[in-house]
Structure 1
């Protein structure tokens, strides 16, 4: 009997340990999801598959240790795990490592993951963008680091610290990688030599001329980690900012760091570094793309971004094909807003200005939208979908029933995801865990995904060559 009691007690203790481990695992899972979705959404999902009365309040109390924790059933746990992104096919057998700086919602990342890359570090400061990023891109807790403010890594706001200390700190916090990706924001550059006022000692030229800008932080990481290849992205106007001085500083900095930038000597309207998204999707969206190769590796010979045309789609999807079959009426302009936008455009047209709304005919297969901007949530004016208002009336009769019934509408966030290339109408859905306002901002600040997927394909053989060279060293 004593042996029976001892065995039973042992089983009970094992069961309690197992139960406690499950509770801890469940809590970690819900906490991870709470960093992406609001707790009301998580509770609604649980209620659909459970007899337990889940609610936002009970989840919140549970996570914060203020209430009794309910163990998740196997079904509940499986459903919640499927709300998280799954590892890409190449995860267990990746070909190279890359980092994703100023990542936004991951528009540049996708192309490099598709060619076998593993993302080992992401930096993005906007909390809502981070939610969308984490909802869609797998971040291995053992292999990946997430950072919010890159300046905490580069110590760019710390006075009284030497270059050596800076680079040592960067090296300790950013994993080694083969490719650096950065869609850095364009901030004003100063030629005043601000760093003379700090205590960096003998600073490199870029330390003098780019300090105070976020490009400066990218430069410090490149200087410290020495990736074989980098890709930097920015708006086309970066070339003309401050009468070209900003771009000159950037190019001089990259040269000083020991990198060859593809097509560096080419300027003017035929510059292959400026790529228009309209070659892939029906949206006019020009971005400057700087691809750099570490000079000592001699990887750059023969590479040009002109070759991106190899990856232009044979048939670009039409604007109408990207639209949802039915949308909520909230996306239709109100009578007051439609009248305001029309009169505003008419006023500026009379003055000879080009300001006004951009109306796109979804029945025209050649229609190409204007550039989607981060301000799209305000009125949607740059891309309005024509729903059949009577253009032949000339002077719009806003009391006309047809013009009221067929008022234009703005894109839905789902349609924005499509026009930016994050998803296709028949493919997997890009997860949008944020409000419409935040979604519009995020897509408006992002890149046309197929553009950078094409650049990644162009770079693939060179990246693999760089990885082999590194292994042979």
Structure 2
């Protein structure tokens, strides 16, 4: 039985991928997540023997249970192209140092991290070199690769960097990241089976404002603005902000009742343009149908936009499990 800890856990996407790969051979012994709404979703979907810890910066590493695998989807805002790119100067960036102090004390067999693609380029590569050098100094062999979610059975163009660090005494000479699951899907494959509520359809007023916004940017030569995705195509990367929804609109002509169910300006648009639902976003990230929703849509969009693509995690975790079994250290 491998023991793991789940840091910056979000709604548990990394844990879920590892559990799918390791099945009943892995047990989570510690969880840390500070966002209360994410914790609600996490608790609804995972058995938590102990309380979920909030601020990891206030946790003494000696109080964390011993573990074999450290999972850390440490916050990416500090390194993202969309952020201010202050890296370790940004308080969020320094959270990697909390990962480092835990690794230094516990020496787990494997450290697994996920982050935005731009992590490798941030500050002309300095940020990533610091992360890699810290893991090297702590006695780990570091492997990393940028993978795209669209290659792993979900219709989403989402590139992320995945970092796998093995403790030096069990480190392989090389680590082959998975290339693809061999399964390809399109937006039409994740669309709700039944007609969705009119609340997901844009109001005429809102749609007109999006059109004007896009026209202004097009006049300036910019590519900003809303985007309607063809059902025979794939979605762009979903993100936690509003633009994540507006750049992944779809046309769904099944609606027959255009009566608003929420307070909106104008009417429900007759062009059949709507946002994807939270369940559709969950499918874009490869979450199973039985994954429970217990918070409002606003929080769900944020949670899935911030989460990971589960099938990618599962594919990497399978490779990690194979090497651990070869190393004969359990």
Tell me which residue corresponds to 2:31.
122
Partner of residue 158 from structure 2, selected from 279, 285, 297: 285
Partner in structure 1 of residue 18 of structure 2: 112
Superposition map of 1:359-398 within 5 A: 359-362=228-231, 364=232, 367-376=233-242, 380-387=245-252
Q: Which has the higher helix share?
A: 1
SS at match of 1:118: strand
**TM-score between both structures, scaled by the size of structure 2:** 0.86
The 5 A counterparts of 1:141-290 are 141=49, 144=50, 146-153=52-59, 169-171=60-62, 173-186=63-76, 187=78, 188-190=86-88, 213-263=94-144, 273-280=145-152, 281-290=154-163
Residue in 2 that maps onto 1:132: 41
3-state DSSP of counterpart to 1:224:
helix
Equivalent-residue separation in structure 1 for 2:215 and 2:87 (angstroms): 38
> Is 108-117 or 124-133 further displaced after alignment?
108-117
Name the residue aligned to 1:451. 312
Residue segments in structure 1 that go unaligned for 5+ positions in a row: 1-94, 154-168, 192-209, 264-272, 389-402
Q: Deviations over 1:66-100 (max 9, x none)?
A: xxxxxxxxxxxxxxxxxxxxxxxxxxxxx311111
Bigger Rg, structure 1 or 2: 1
**Does the 8 A contact of 1:322 with 1:415 survive in 2?**
yes
Q: Does 1:342 align with 2:207?
A: no
What's the CA shift for 1:360? 1.0
Higher relative contact order (CA 8 A, sep 6+): 2
**Structure 1 position 254, deviation (Å):** 1.2
Structure 2 unaligned segments of length 5 or more: list them.
79-85, 254-267
Q: Please give the per-residue CA displacement for 1:187-230, whole angstroms capped at 9, x wherever unaligned.
A: 34458xxxxxxxxxxxxxxxxxx997100100001101100111
What's the offset of the Cα at 1:313? 3.3
C-alpha distance in 2 between matches for 1:211 and 1:331 = 33
* CA distance 1:287–1:190, change in 2 (3 Å): closer
Q: Which residue is equivalent to 1:431?
A: 292
- The structure with the greater share of residues assigned to strand is 2
Q: Does the C-alpha gap of structure 1 residues 279 and 234 become closer, same or farther in structure 2, counting only changes over 3 Å?
A: same
Give the whole-Å Cα distance in 1 for the aligned partners of 2:234 and 2:111.
31
Q: CA deviation at 1:465?
A: 4.1
Name the TM-score, length of structure 1 as normaliser. 0.61
- Contact 1:358/1:369 (CA < 8 Å) preserved in 2? no
Q: 1:404 to 1:277 in 2, by over 3 A?
A: same
> Where do 4+ consecutive residues of structure 1 move more than 4 Å?
none
Structure-2 separation of matches of 1:379 and 1:292: 31
Contact map agreement 1:99 1:121 (CA 8 A) in 2: yes
